[in-house]
Structure 1
Amino acid sequence: MSDQREEVERYLRSGNYESYFHAWPGDTLVAQERNGSDALKRALIDAVEKRAADLPVPAPVPRLDMVAFTRSKVEPMVRGLFPGIEQEQVLGVLERSVVYLTPETIHPVLEGMAWPHTAWALANLYLGSLGAELLSDEAPRIVGMSVETSCYVSMEYFRDTFRFADYIIHETAHIFHNCKRRTVGLRETRYREWLLELEFRKRETFAYCCEAYSRILALSARASERAGLVEELAEEAMPDDDRIDAAEYVDILREAAAVRNGWKRILARCAPDRARRRPDVTHGLQERAPDSAPGSRSAN
């Protein structure tokens, strides 16, 4: 039992755990893994409930049709990135992809999460939205995270007044490199396996550019206004995230703001070199790197 307690404490402190769950009983490795994973989840849920107890919800999720709300957010991006024949199938996935982490949803989300470390990160995302003590000083300070075809978004979304921010766009943009075409009913080929082909190191750049560009479009009526908003962002509102190259980020947005369909320009700038040489670059796809991590948006 002492080994189990040590494993639970290590997990809560860092999100790390012994992947074979040797400290737990079981007639098979599968049984050990199930028993150990269940124990970690129970401990995580208990720790979250303890830290969140009696804290007020700072910004409750409004009573909206969330499917329609999400669709209204992501539709311009999908219309700009995909050919007309594919748009409705992609929208059908994205409009149901967003999960807001609230007092009502956090328990089932953590309980149903397959990967303990991802559950730990989501627990900290939720605690951060409440202003509660995080599980560790090393915990990621994020406001959104994408896992396969689901996007988990902080309640901070409904109280953030920063006009260039939209966590929903940022997180759904990550779905494009996490989701296979066949998942949404689209034809898949050897070179078109994933929804969009992105260079691995530019996945965060792509998500941040999509986020900013969506807000620039919403705040402007003409190209000259878009250009001015890019310069305002460059001077006053740059993302605080060392995963992106700031100069490249601004340059991509300047290019996007100057053309009719800036979404395609963003995609072209974030595509792998081999895709840029192909004529169908704007709708190319890339095999996902096996060590890729879930996308996440940092809290600025």
Structure 2
Amino acid sequence: MPTSAAIEHYLRTGDHDPYFFDWSGDVIERERRACQDLKRALVDEVSRRAAGRRPSAEMPAIDLTSFTRVKVEPMVRGLFPKVEQDVMLRLLERSVVFLTPERVEAILLGCTWLHTAWDLANLYLGSLGADLLAEDAPRLVGLSSETTCFVSLDYFTETGRFDDFIVHEAAHVFHNCKRITVGLRETRRREWLLEIEFRKRETFAYGCEAFSRVVELCPKIKDRPAMVEEYAQTFMPDDERVDLDELVDILREAARARNGWKHILARCAPRRERRAGHPFNLGLEPLDRGRPARQAAR
């Protein structure tokens, strides 16, 4: 199909020919030209749909580094040994990027993966109340790519009692990034920051998100089980990737423990024989498809 049709197909679906045969040149030149053309077309379409709209919230005047550190510090302290905690905090405190009107163009053009750019475009359009690029496009409020956590400005207007998109996306960084990348010692059994079973990575992220709120709301361990029951009755995620019964059982166990974070990790740890199936080992794009917006009314 002609290049214009390839661009239109990408805008409607987020998909593309991995070999970019609609563009001229050798394989490297085709990829360079195609990525440039597709991302430029994506930016133009987002600008068209966003015209005259503003996000549901303005970016507040905060020190984002300090704000993020406060959010992720309990999780880091609970999951990592003391000798590794400062490294992880330095990584995560600068990992959060909010999609604002002033930054969205540069963010989309700078994406490594074309489908990630498409998902981020929909995340941004959703924060404006604009039409998404496809009727079946996921309505996201957060998405992780490698060590970057992209978050919608809806964070400042629609966060429910047990919601924290920053913690959710930061939890995904742990299975997106190798230990050696941030200067931590790697072993045969510890290649990634944390070893998370592939099919349980969303369970792990939702568990960390909910438990961070339980800990914040209930500093005393004795009060946490009741808070988990409130979560189970009223705030469960609407996400088909998660076994809700398993998630609640994990949180109940964590709520009774001195260090509940370790229990969440243990329940989401991989079976060793499946370790080679990690998406990065296959050379594929990270498969985190983002934190969806809550569908049910709060």
Following superposition of structure 1 onto structure 2, how do residues 116-127 of structure 1 map, counting pairs within 5 Å? 116-127=114-125
In structure 2, relative to structure 1, the CA distance for the partners of 1:205 and 1:190 (3 Å cut) is: same
2:24 is matched with 25
Which amino acid in 1 is paired with 2:107? Answer: V
1:280 is matched with none
Deviations 1:129-152 (A, max 9, x none): 110011110211111111111110
* Segment of structure 1 superposing worse, 80-89 or 13-22: 13-22
1:115 is matched with 113
What residue ranges of structure 2 are gaps of 5+ in the alignment? none
2:193 is the alignment partner of 1:213: no
2:266 is the alignment partner of 1:272: no
* Segment of structure 1 superposing worse, 152-161 or 162-171: 152-161
2:37 is matched with 39
2:225 is matched with 227
In structure 2, relative to structure 1, the CA distance for the partners of 1:85 and 1:286 (3 Å cut) is: farther
What residue ranges of structure 1 are gaps of 5+ in the alignment? 276-284
Following superposition of structure 1 onto structure 2, how do residues 50-61 of structure 1 map, counting pairs within 5 Å? 50-61=48-59
- Output the CA distance in 1 between the equivalents of 2:4 and 2:194: 43
Following superposition of structure 1 onto structure 2, how do residues 63-74 of structure 1 map, counting pairs within 5 Å? 63-74=61-72
- Output the CA distance in 1 between the equivalents of 2:177 and 2:276: 11
2:89 is the alignment partner of 1:99: no
| RMSD between aligned residues | 1.5
| TM score, norm. by length of structure 1 | 0.93
1:181 is matched with 179
Deviations 1:12-57 (A, max 9, x none): 000111111111222x211111111111011100000001111123
- Output the CA distance in 2 between the equivalents of 1:188 and 1:19: 32
- Output the CA distance in 1 between the equivalents of 2:123 and 2:146: 17
1:299 is matched with 293
- Output the CA distance in 1 between the equivalents of 2:272 and 2:19: 39
1:11 is matched with 10
- Output the CA distance in 1 between the equivalents of 2:46 and 2:30: 24
* Segment of structure 1 superposing worse, 289-298 or 165-174: 289-298
- Output the CA distance in 1 between the equivalents of 2:175 and 2:67: 23
- Output the CA distance in 2 between the equivalents of 1:36 and 1:237: 42
Q: Helix, strand or coil for the counterpart of 1:151? A: strand
Which amino acid in 1 is paired with 2:292? Answer: S
In structure 2, relative to structure 1, the CA distance for the partners of 1:244 and 1:24 (3 Å cut) is: same
- Output the CA distance in 1 between the equivalents of 2:56 and 2:192: 38
Q: Helix, strand or coil for the counterpart of 1:103? A: coil
What displacement does 1:61 show? Answer: 1.2
- Asked if the contact 1:213–1:253 (Cα under 8 Å) also holds between the matched residues in 2, the reply is yes
Deviations 1:78-108 (A, max 9, x none): 0000000000011111111111011011101
2:149 is the alignment partner of 1:162: no
1:238 is matched with 236
Which amino acid in 2 is paired with 1:297? Answer: R
Deviations 1:48-80 (A, max 9, x none): 000111112320111111111111110110000
- Output the CA distance in 1 between the equivalents of 2:246 and 2:193: 23
- Asked if the contact 1:99–1:153 (Cα under 8 Å) also holds between the matched residues in 2, the reply is yes
Which amino acid in 1 is paired with 2:14? Answer: G
1:278 is matched with none
Identity across matched positions, percent: 57
Which amino acid in 1 is paired with 2:278? Answer: R
Aligned residues: 289
Which amino acid in 1 is paired with 2:15? Answer: N
Which amino acid in 1 is paired with 2:4? Answer: R
| TM score, norm. by length of structure 2 | 0.94
Which amino acid in 1 is paired with 2:190? Answer: R
Which amino acid in 2 is paired with 1:7? Answer: A
Q: Helix, strand or coil for the counterpart of 1:140? A: coil
- Output the CA distance in 1 between the equivalents of 2:206 and 2:288: 15
Of 42, 46, 49, the match for 1:48: 46
